[in-house]
Chain A
């Protein structure tokens, strides 16, 4: 069993620490049980189960650190791994960016673990595949999907008295439905901490309908269009923006957040004033761990407020160098939405394009946060408040900063990939070429 309770983990880590003779010692421990099933061509292709457990010791003498890892937890093994880390530390060069471990911290209890998800069985997974494949076959559609679930824990203890522990469960599901003649394709993604919220049949049905609706797509000219982005489409672009909110690269002058003449754009309006993005580990829809890898407590943090950049992530080293408090990088992102449903947003659109998802997104220019990628698995032309017909896929070249400045409407929020993202209507979204891909 790779998942240890708080008390079991604490006991093992205390034992390991008792062998330490270094100036400071930090121990990370983790374990997980995960399972998956993959299917394609309406049949199961692979399935598997993995069990992992590990304990990592970082020993430090002054600014010299050494790390050693072990996956067995007998007293002898724990003593061996601590000694090995200490030997390595003595041999290493000094790390000028070394930070002393943190002292004890207060953490809120996280809500990331659900027993139901930890109890998923191989039969459950096979049943999920069945719920995709059977309805697909009835509609002459071919299903290809992947379900991946895991339960695990992580813990941190150091010689300064800090102890942190978290348990979490997770489930990720995607399915692509293609019409048997290859002319239509649909897709959905779902992710939850609690498997009881997951309905494989409902999700699969949406992908089947999109596949059928997207047949006989027509080509329209590339150019600037008003788009309605489903949350799965915008999440990919927003994640790239979010991961770039790093103080060090901004201070160093190599980020879109660096300012002309030096300094950063912190405190400046960078996007439309209706944009509010924050993180909160205790949001019940998208919970995440209440501490990060350094042992810093992760709390509710505002990143963009009324369009103004409010925070950048500061590592402990960079914060100390800059004379500010560290700001840990969060585990989720929550973007404020509105009350409009997708149907309302379509009804209010005279001419536009509905995008299910983007694919193969890559950085083009980090200076402007310009990305390219393509639409995929359901792209539709909207005219006079109605979906008129499916259209061929487009390549885009767009920056999430420009996109959030061209915001028209915010719709309802949906959980995607551990974050809460609203439907969004954006004007002048830049499509640069057509793709024949279905």
Chain B
């Protein structure tokens, strides 16, 4: 029962939040976050040491990433600050192809001597592994971009905002929750800045400055007399934004059905904490769902996770080909289905796109971690499977000439590989609000927010819970429900999609911790959509007595 790769943080989730240790670096004082690090000219010189060393040792290709990863995390519970953590991780990863085989090594000694040593190690690993290599690497061509840069378009850098302001905001949200009936509240702010310098023997030198933020909380209400407790998690989403996400702008609020309030690109944590406390209390006496078939009306901050698991993962080409067979699994979306050009993944309304350029998304970058300019492409068009997610050494297997630009490594000391881009469901083209959608539903359930999730290793059978559930009866939102989970099959589910709200309802769900690979690496990814209707879905009751 070892959890060597994760650190457990108390109380934030049902269970708890498990943070991968890779998200922790060396602890530093807060002022050190302001240190600009190496300038671009110095990074170019160091990168050239790696590229030239690799070439001199016989590598046919090399790339290098000089990474500086700055994180700030703030944890509170009720009226207490539990921890404020500032971390930095700095080093360099070198990847080469020698004798048709990949080799990778990394070092935190970013001096010419340290870089040479690591490069030699990468080439030696490639040569050693080439003896048992059965599939020599084939790279798709990529443009040489010269010296370029990209930065997440943020308005407020978290590093410029005093820690006391962040602490005060969380404590204010906690106190608002407690005043409105919460028994316990835990809240946290995660802020990430990836400063990445990429260079390759293709002639690209790419400097990127990537920002992400995630405010979250868990509010618990307890009825001690009955020995019952219920939790309501935040309806925020992690974002590829700066601290401006915490502004709580009225213009970014969307009124949901009943009293629900949703947030697009600006989050009001205090308002959400008050709602959470009231809803957690209401859950203690809410009625238990009758199992059966229902029309499901799914809010974007819920459906995003279903998109992630049932579309994002099965279309990762390395899973389809078997590279992930021993861990995450393979995929039902096999190449023959794609080649048939008529595999009906979903109903004709379903258009799903991959997009590494989407503003505010967690996956947005200018260039991926192997120096490919990012783009947007179709995965499912009019319900039919049309493409996968693939990188430079994979696209030849699809007879395609261009990488999709979705290669990523969680840190300088991990090797980059194919990761899920932002995968999103396009909004409906016809005017339709959430209330318009609910109006037509006779017997249904409305779900907002993420909950329990589980899917099989080929991505057929899944089960999802949620944050809050409401009954829909005769076109109207009814009372709150408990013990709801729906089970379906991916293809059956997406083919039961009968309506999608328009672009005014479009919002993003996100995850900081998409896990894949051995040793496991995390990646942050967003999924956008509008509220969507699915007919005839099987709902089970998860209530038990122990």
A residues touching B (Cβ–Cβ < 8 Å)? 36, 38, 40-48, 50, 54, 56, 67-71, 84, 87-88, 92-93, 95-97, 122, 126, 129-130, 142, 144-146, 148, 174-176, 178, 182, 187, 235, 238-239, 242-243, 249, 252-254, 256, 258-262, 270, 331-333, 359-370, 372-374, 376, 393, 395, 397, 399, 401-402, 417-419, 432-438
Q: What are 30 A-B pairs at a CB distance below 8 A? A: A46-B102, A47-B125, A48-B104, A71-B108, A95-B80, A144-B322, A145-B326, A174-B327, A178-B322, A252-B184, A254-B183, A254-B184, A260-B227, A331-B2, A332-B1, A359-B456, A359-B457, A364-B452, A365-B14, A373-B454, A376-B457, A395-B461, A417-B2, A419-B1, A432-B487, A433-B487, A433-B538, A436-B458, A436-B489, A437-B329
Question: What separation, in Å, do the CA atoms of A253 and B227 have in the docked complex?
Answer: 7
Report B-chain residues with C-beta under 8 Å of the C-beta of A43: 132-135
Q: Give per-residue flags for B296-338: 1 if the beta carbon is below 8 A from chain A beta carbons, else 0.
A: 0000000000000000000000000111111101101000000
Interface membership of B29, Cβ < 8 A: yes
Interface membership of B275, Cβ < 8 A: no
Report B-chain residues with C-beta under 8 Å of the C-beta of A261: 224-225, 227
User: Are A365 and B483 within 8 A (Cβ)?
Assistant: yes
User: Are B518 and A437 within 8 A (Cβ)?
Assistant: no
User: Are A435 and B454 within 8 A (Cβ)?
Assistant: no
Question: What separation, in Å, do the CA atoms of A366 and B463 have in the docked complex?
Answer: 16
User: Are B132 and A126 within 8 A (Cβ)?
Assistant: yes
User: Are B540 and A397 within 8 A (Cβ)?
Assistant: yes
User: Are A435 and B104 within 8 A (Cβ)?
Assistant: no
Among B125, B413, B544, which residue has its beta carbon within 8 angstroms of that of A368?
B544
Interface membership of B249, Cβ < 8 A: no
Report B-chain residues with C-beta under 8 Å of the C-beta of A174: 326-327
User: Are A38 and B518 within 8 A (Cβ)?
Assistant: yes
Q: Distance in Å from the Cβ of B337 to the closest Cβ of chain A?
A: 13
Interface membership of B173, Cβ < 8 A: no
- B104's nearest neighbour on chain A, judged by CB, is A48
User: Are B461 and A435 within 8 A (Cβ)?
Assistant: yes
Interface membership of B465, Cβ < 8 A: yes
- A400's nearest neighbour on chain B, judged by CB, is B546
User: Are A395 and B80 within 8 A (Cβ)?
Assistant: no
Report B-chain residues with C-beta under 8 Å of the C-beta of A260: 225-227
Among B128, B135, B230, B456, which residue has its beta carbon within 8 angstroms of that of A437?
B456
User: Are A41 and B132 within 8 A (Cβ)?
Assistant: no
Report B-chain residues with C-beta under 8 Å of the C-beta of A259: 227
User: Are A254 and B222 within 8 A (Cβ)?
Assistant: yes
- A432's nearest neighbour on chain B, judged by CB, is B540
Interface membership of B453, Cβ < 8 A: yes
Report B-chain residues with C-beta under 8 Å of the C-beta of A258: 227, 229
User: Are B132 and A393 within 8 A (Cβ)?
Assistant: no
User: Are A363 and B14 within 8 A (Cβ)?
Assistant: yes
Q: Distance in Å from the Cβ of B316 to the closest Cβ of chain A?
A: 13
User: Are A97 and B132 within 8 A (Cβ)?
Assistant: no
User: Are B461 and A42 within 8 A (Cβ)?
Assistant: no
Among A238, A395, A436, which residue has its beta carbon within 8 angstroms of that of B463?
A395
Interface membership of B84, Cβ < 8 A: yes
Report A-chain residues with C-beta under 8 Å of the C-beta of B332: 436-437
Given contacts A88-B29, A146-B327, are A44 and B133 in contact (CB under 8 A)?
Answer: yes
Given contacts A395-B454, A397-B540, A437-B332, are A48 and B461 in contact (CB under 8 A)?
Answer: no
User: Are B519 and A374 within 8 A (Cβ)?
Assistant: no
Q: Distance in Å from the Cβ of B96 to the closest Cβ of chain A?
A: 13
Interface centre among B104, B129, B483 (most CB of A within 10 A): B129
10 nearest A-B pairs in the assembled complex, by CB-CB distance:
A260-B227, A435-B461, A144-B325, A437-B456, A437-B458, A144-B326, A368-B544, A176-B326, A43-B134, A146-B518
Question: What separation, in Å, do the CA atoms of A334 and B98 have in the docked complex?
Answer: 48
Report A-chain residues with C-beta under 8 Å of the C-beta of B195: none
Question: What separation, in Å, do the CA atoms of A376 and B487 have in the docked complex?
Answer: 18
User: Are A333 and B229 within 8 A (Cβ)?
Assistant: no
User: Are B540 and A48 within 8 A (Cβ)?
Assistant: no
Question: What separation, in Å, do the CA atoms of A200 and B27 have in the docked complex?
Answer: 40
User: Are A399 and B546 within 8 A (Cβ)?
Assistant: yes
Report A-chain residues with C-beta under 8 Å of the C-beta of B463: 372, 395, 397, 432-433
User: Are B540 and A376 within 8 A (Cβ)?
Assistant: no
Question: What separation, in Å, do the CA atoms of A261 and B222 have in the docked complex?
Answer: 11
Question: What separation, in Å, do the CA atoms of A41 and B318 have in the docked complex?
Answer: 11
Question: What separation, in Å, do the CA atoms of A129 and B129 have in the docked complex?
Answer: 12
- A438's nearest neighbour on chain B, judged by CB, is B458
- B86's nearest neighbour on chain A, judged by CB, is A88
Report B-chain residues with C-beta under 8 Å of the C-beta of A417: 1-2
Report A-chain residues with C-beta under 8 Å of the C-beta of B543: 365, 368
Among B28, B82, B231, B325, which residue has its beta carbon within 8 angstroms of that of A142?
B325
Question: What separation, in Å, do the CA atoms of A408 and B472 have in the docked complex?
Answer: 43
Report B-chain residues with C-beta under 8 Å of the C-beta of A144: 322-326
Q: Distance in Å from the Cβ of A379 to the closest Cβ of chain B?
A: 12
Q: Distance in Å from the Cβ of B79 to the closest Cβ of chain A?
A: 9
Given contacts A254-B220, A366-B14, are A47 and B458 in contact (CB under 8 A)?
Answer: no
- B220's nearest neighbour on chain A, judged by CB, is A254
Give chain B interface residues in 45-80, CB to chain A under 8 Å. Answer: 80
Question: What separation, in Å, do the CA atoms of A260 and B546 have in the docked complex?
Answer: 12
Report A-chain residues with C-beta under 8 Å of the C-beta of B429: none
Known: A93-B81, A437-B458. 12 other contacts (CB 8 A): A38-B518, A46-B102, A48-B125, A48-B415, A178-B322, A254-B183, A260-B225, A363-B15, A370-B544, A374-B456, A397-B485, A417-B2
User: Are B455 and A360 within 8 A (Cβ)?
Assistant: yes
Q: Distance in Å from the Cβ of B521 to the closest Cβ of chain A?
A: 11
Interface membership of B460, Cβ < 8 A: yes
User: Are B132 and A364 within 8 A (Cβ)?
Assistant: no
Among B29, B225, B324, B326, which residue has its beta carbon within 8 angstroms of that of A84?
B29
Question: What separation, in Å, do the CA atoms of A95 and B77 have in the docked complex?
Answer: 12
- B414's nearest neighbour on chain A, judged by CB, is A48
Q: Give per-residue flags for B398-426: 1 if the beta carbon is below 8 A from chain A beta carbons, else 0.
A: 00000000000000010100000000000
Question: What separation, in Å, do the CA atoms of A416 and B102 have in the docked complex?
Answer: 33
Report B-chain residues with C-beta under 8 Å of the C-beta of A71: 26, 108
Question: What separation, in Å, do the CA atoms of A258 and B223 have in the docked complex?
Answer: 11
User: Are A148 and B519 within 8 A (Cβ)?
Assistant: yes
Question: What separation, in Å, do the CA atoms of A181 and B452 have in the docked complex?
Answer: 33
User: Are A366 and B15 within 8 A (Cβ)?
Assistant: yes
User: Are B456 and A363 within 8 A (Cβ)?
Assistant: no
User: Are A87 and B29 within 8 A (Cβ)?
Assistant: yes
Question: What separation, in Å, do the CA atoms of A62 and B483 have in the docked complex?
Answer: 46
Question: What separation, in Å, do the CA atoms of A260 and B324 have in the docked complex?
Answer: 45
User: Are B27 and A362 within 8 A (Cβ)?
Assistant: no
Give chain B interface residues in 473-493, CB to chain A under 8 Å. Answer: 483, 485, 487, 489
User: Are B224 and A253 within 8 A (Cβ)?
Assistant: yes
User: Are A364 and B485 within 8 A (Cβ)?
Assistant: yes
Question: What separation, in Å, do the CA atoms of A278 and B229 have in the docked complex?
Answer: 28
Question: What separation, in Å, do the CA atoms of A122 and B105 have in the docked complex?
Answer: 14
Question: What separation, in Å, do the CA atoms of A67 and B226 have in the docked complex?
Answer: 42
- B227's nearest neighbour on chain A, judged by CB, is A260
Report B-chain residues with C-beta under 8 Å of the C-beta of A436: 332, 458, 460-461, 489
Interface membership of B542, Cβ < 8 A: yes
Report B-chain residues with C-beta under 8 Å of the C-beta of A70: 26
Q: Distance in Å from the Cβ of B95 to the closest Cβ of chain A?
A: 11
Interface membership of B228, Cβ < 8 A: yes
- B228's nearest neighbour on chain A, judged by CB, is A367
Report A-chain residues with C-beta under 8 Å of the C-beta of B84: 92
Interface membership of B340, Cβ < 8 A: no
User: Are A372 and B184 within 8 A (Cβ)?
Assistant: no
- A129's nearest neighbour on chain B, judged by CB, is B132
User: Are B546 and A256 within 8 A (Cβ)?
Assistant: yes
Q: Distance in Å from the Cβ of A385 to the closest Cβ of chain B?
A: 30
- A65's nearest neighbour on chain B, judged by CB, is B83
Q: Give per-residue flags for B1-31: 1 if the beta carbon is below 8 A from chain A beta carbons, else 0.
A: 1100000000100110000000000111100
